[in-house]
Amino acid sequence: MKDIFNFEFDNGIKLKNRFVVAPMTTYSGNKDLTLSDEEEKYYAKRGQSFGMVITAATAISKHAQAFTNQISIQDESYLPSMKRLASTIKQGGAKAILQIHHGGRMNATDLYEDQDIVSASAIKAERKNAPTPRALKTEEVYDVIDDFAHATKLAIEAGFDGIELHGANTYLIQQFFSPHSNRREDEFGGSLEKRTKFSMLLINQALDMRTKYANKEFIIGYRLSPEEYEDPGITIEDTLYLIDKIIKKDIDYIHLSLGKYNQSSIRNSEDEEPIISKIKSVVKGKTPIIGVGQIDGLSQAKDALKLGFDLLAVGMGSLADPHYPKHLKNGQAPKKEINEESLLPKPLFERLHKWRGLEDRGYQIKNPK
């Protein structure tokens, strides 16, 4: 059985435990998209107990912004904000990973004047009131790749321990990989191989930034959603192809975005094999895998490790209990009441009231007095 409270990457970086704060949008940055005081307190508290903290999705450019008050790393003027964020997480002993992101066609509308919503192709997402994006020109695709590379360089300058490419949850990187959102006929679309090119170039650029400006200890991760509901959409076979290419690169982890850590296919209800089992058979221990999704206590954590995950990202558990790993290590059940002591930014706290299924998992929200 894997030791839950010790982990070391192949590059020699050690974590104090295998628990990771999952990247969760807080909607809580300042109006100028810098780190707010509330967010700073939120991250500081969780950096004290978790082995690694992955930040909320951080916009790599003006056009990448997907949410109201989303923190940004679009240029050098954001370095003071990013340095605060990295330092805040690291002062508690956790490793600080900046998730870099472009929302693409999933960007909320009316975030700023003359907003330009772009994607791989001019295909609307299958959601209510979705805008029709503008298809990026081939030269613009390379500009976006450069934006990701520049964000990686700035993350290094800001003092982060690593970056995570957000290739999941239907955002731009996934939009290039998806046959639903990518109907291109140039070098970035058509065949499965061509739909993979955008992701591969992003990884290559991140690795290049590490070589030029950091060292081998700088962590590079890639997050992905294994399947899509849409038809056409990403299949598990597509994802296994992508992962086979990713593990040939010198990256440090793959992060699976799942609704539940042990879930099976969302496209084929007759296939009951857990997604992680399929992916583990391709990875074969070459790259650590992060699992996420309803890891609400010690029994689920042990089961997730047994299934094949190496690191465990905790979402709701980390919101309710900033000291989730500490309590598990001491033989205590993690707290499940979200209250003032949880130190959540107000916008995030208010949005939790709209989340479904929390009570079924034993979570309660207690409004501040």
Q: Does 369 have pLDDT greater than 70?
A: no
Average pLDDT score over residue span 212-239? 98
Which token pair is 48?
């004290």
Do 174 and 224 meet the contact criterion of CB atoms below 8 Å apart? Answer: yes
Average pLDDT score over residue span 309-326? 97
How far apart are alpha carbons 179 and 176 in whole angstroms?
8
| H-run or E-run covering 213 | helix 192-213
Q: Does 1 have pLDDT greater than 80?
A: no
How far apart are alpha carbons 106 and 92 in whole angstroms?
34
Amino acid type, 284: K
Tell me how far the alpha carbon of residue 165 is from its chain's centroid: 7
Q: For 231-265, how does the pLDDT look when each residue is reduced to its tens digit (9 = 90+)?
A: 999 999 999 999 999 999 999 999 999 999 999 99
How far apart are alpha carbons 258 and 235 in whole angstroms?
14
Do 216 and 249 meet the contact criterion of CB atoms below 8 Å apart? Answer: no
Q: Does 70 have pLDDT greater than 70?
A: yes
**Both ends of the chain: CA-CA distance in Å?**
44
Amino acid type, 144: V
Residue 137 CB-density burial (10 A; 0-12 exposed, 13-18 middle, 19+ buried): exposed
Q: For 329-344, how does the pLDDT look when each residue is reduced to its tens digit (9 = 90+)?
A: 999 999 999 999 999 9
| Residue 354 pLDDT | 85
Average pLDDT score over residue span 123-133? 95
User: What top-level class would CATH report for the domain 7-365?
Assistant: alpha beta
How far apart are alpha carbons 107 and 65 in whole angstroms?
7
How far apart are alpha carbons 226 and 110 in whole angstroms?
30
Q: Does 368 have pLDDT greater than 90?
A: no
Domain residue spans in the chain?
7-365
Average pLDDT score over residue span 293-299? 96
How far apart are alpha carbons 156 and 81 in whole angstroms?
13
Average pLDDT score over residue span 313-333? 96
Average pLDDT over all residues of the chain: 96
SS3 6: coil
Which token pair is 70?
């989303």
Q: For 174-209, how does the pLDDT look when each residue is reduced to its tens digit (9 = 90+)?
A: 999 999 999 999 999 999 999 999 999 999 999 999
Q: Does 367 have pLDDT greater than 80?
A: no
The neighbour count for residue 147, using CB atoms within 10 Å, is 22
> What does the buried/exposed string (b/e) look like for 257-269 if buried means 16 or more CB atoms within 10 Å of the residue's CB?
bbeebbbbbbbee
Q: For 138-161, how does the pLDDT look when each residue is reduced to its tens digit (9 = 90+)?
A: 999 999 999 999 999 999 999 999
Residues 313, 318, 319, CA angle at the centre, nearest 5°?
A: 130
Average pLDDT score over residue span 39-47? 98
How far apart are alpha carbons 303 and 142 in whole angstroms?
42
Which token pair is 107?
């960007």
Least confidently predicted of 51-60, 214-223, 357-366: 357-366
